[in-house]
Structure 1
Amino acid sequence: MTGPSAPSPSDASDARFDALVAEAAAVSVDGWDFSWLDGRATEQRPSWGYARAMAGRMADARAALDIQTGGGEVLASAPVLPPLTAATESWPPNIARATALLHPRGAVVVADSDEPPLPFGDHAFDLVVSRHPVATWWAEIARVLAPGGTYLSQEVGPESVFELIEHFLGPRPGTARAARDPQHARAAAEAAGLDVVDLRAERLRVEFLDIGAVVYFLRKVVWMVPGFTVEAYLPQLRTLHRKIESEGPFVAHSARFLIEARKPG
């Protein structure tokens, strides 16, 4: 007599795929904390250290605004917050998370649609910051900044993680490739009456070590593959899973730029 045959390599791979995808599809993606990806994905960090730079400016500010704060994690990392600190956020789960994190620090979180106008008066803040804003409303930033005030932001640059995006969506048109150019940000800031005092850009290596990391990332960063669900993109996920298992981590490149602008006065 012979016992049951061992699972074939393809059966074992399919079982791993199902387990990894099910795990990543079930975990919460609230907030802007990516610690779930520890050991499953890596990303180089920009050399300028946005959180450190932001914290330094917070320590010297009297009134500050963090636009599109997410779950408030980056703002909360600043050791010192100004006496008057506000943050805006549009997604209800993030609003609750940011409020719980920032309220004990004396900061208020304002529910906002992420469209102009900002819900604040003219010249309300001497510091405005934002990390990875979906859109930057330069005229509104200029309006709420006090004369002599500073805007500091780290933004997503052009063609960020396009290797992954194009695996799911196919080649992107030229308009998509040209979007989020740092020089466009400079021109828009200057058109709003601000002086750009720093502008730096870098491309950074990103590695996805398993398909669960890809699923989690696309669920969390929803604008990468709009409307992403496991069911809608199951063939592409299976193909990528096999590629990772046979070739090693899937490599992409993120684009980031730092822009700092000041309001004359």
Structure 2
Amino acid sequence: MSTDRSFEELVAEADSVSVAGWDFSWLDGRATEERPSWGYARAMGERMGRASAALDIQTGGGEVLASVPKLPPLAVATEAWPPNVAKATALLHPRGAVVVADQEEPPLPFADGAFDLVVSRHPVKAYWTEIARVLAPGGTYFSQEVGPASVFELIEYFLGPQPEGRKGRDPEAARAEAEAAGLEVVDLRLEKLRTEFLDIGAVVYFLRKVIWMVPGFTVAEYLPQLRSLHEQIEKEGPFVATTARFLVEARKPAA
């Protein structure tokens, strides 16, 4: 894909724009990602409409929760990263939802059985014992997670082969952990989807925002690889990667 903008211009722009929150609209026209067929935000919104007390774990900037048509009487979100806490607070407080600044690791700062619905979109890690603890008997956990070897074509371009990393985020491992925590998995689906990066700016922005993909990524550190990838995109077209997503729904047995 040829562009009249130079490598330096594309990289400088992508390296200076804010990456706060979990809104990827800056990538419109610069990258594409096929979406899972189940429509997580819509399906989560339907469950929120039936809940009485709900928790959104690792809400990011609160964008997905804020999109729900009808929040339950009690709606709480947790988030660890301070810029996201501020953004989520601004989005969710007008909707009557509370944002709790909390670390990503256990314990969750809530009482046993506090929520009849717990949700999470792309958690860094699902702590199943804590999820089961804060769910009320008969309650539901509903989540979309990043699946195995997601966007590894891009990760391995910068880091080289990652055979151990490709084994992580296995949906069946999630099932086993959920069941070990006393939950019943009622739905588990995996889809592999096409992602395209149309220019090098999209790559820089993505790696700055999704910081665990290439840990410690900076433009200065990876300048030679970025320049080479820019030339590849210019000559051959978009850089194509495979995104993996899985949906999991689990229920806590009724008392």
TM-score bracket for this pair, using the shorter chain length: over 0.9
Map 1:91-170 onto structure 2 (within 5 A).
91-170=81-160
1:31 aligns with 2:21: yes
Match of 2:211 among 199, 202, 222: 222
| Alignment match, 1:46 | 36
Q: Aligned to 2:106, what secondary structure does the other structure show?
A: coil
Match status 1:206 vs 2:173: no
Match of 1:56 among 46, 66, 73: 46
The corresponding residue for 1:188 is 177
Aligned partner of residue 256 in structure 1, secondary structure = strand
Aligned-residue RMSD, C-alpha: 1.2
Partner residue of 1:7? none
The Cα of 1:13 is off from its aligned counterpart by 8.1
For residues 71-130 of structure 1, the C-alpha deviation after alignment (integer angstroms, 9 at most, x for no partner) is 000000101000000000000000000000000000000000111000000000000000
The residue type paired with residue 40 of structure 2 is Y
Q: Within 2, Cα distance between the matches of 1:140 and 1:131?
A: 16
Distance 2:253 2:232 in 1: 53
Offset, 1:14: 10
Say which structure, 1 or 2, has more relative contact order (CA 8 Å, 6+ apart): 2
For 2:3 and 2:142, the matched residues in 1 are separated by 46
Structure 2 match to 1:248 = 237
How far is the alpha carbon of 1:48 from its aligned partner? 0.3
Deviation per residue, 1:24-66 (Å, 9 max, x gap)? 0010000000000000000000000000010000000000000
Counterpart-to-counterpart distance in 1, 2:248 and 2:191: 12
Shift of 1:15: 6.4
Give runs of ≥4 in structure 1 deviating > 2 Å. 12-15
Counterpart AA for 1:86: V
2:10 alignment counterpart: 20
Q: Measure the CA separation in 2 of the matches of 1:13 and 1:97.
A: 34
1:263 equivalent to 2:214? Answer no
Give the 3 Å change call, closer, same or farther, for CA 55–15 of structure 1 in structure 2.
Answer: closer
CA distance in structure 2 between the aligned counterparts of 1:239 and 1:13, rounded to whole angstroms: 15
SS at 1:153 equivalent = strand
Structure 1 length as normaliser, TM-score? 0.94
Calculate percent identity across the aligned residue pairs: 78
The alignment status of 1:79 with 2:82, answered yes or no, reads no
Gaps of 5+ in 1: 1-11
**DSSP-derived class of the 1:164 partner:** helix
Aligned residues: 253
Which structure is larger by alpha-carbon Rg, 1 or 2?
1
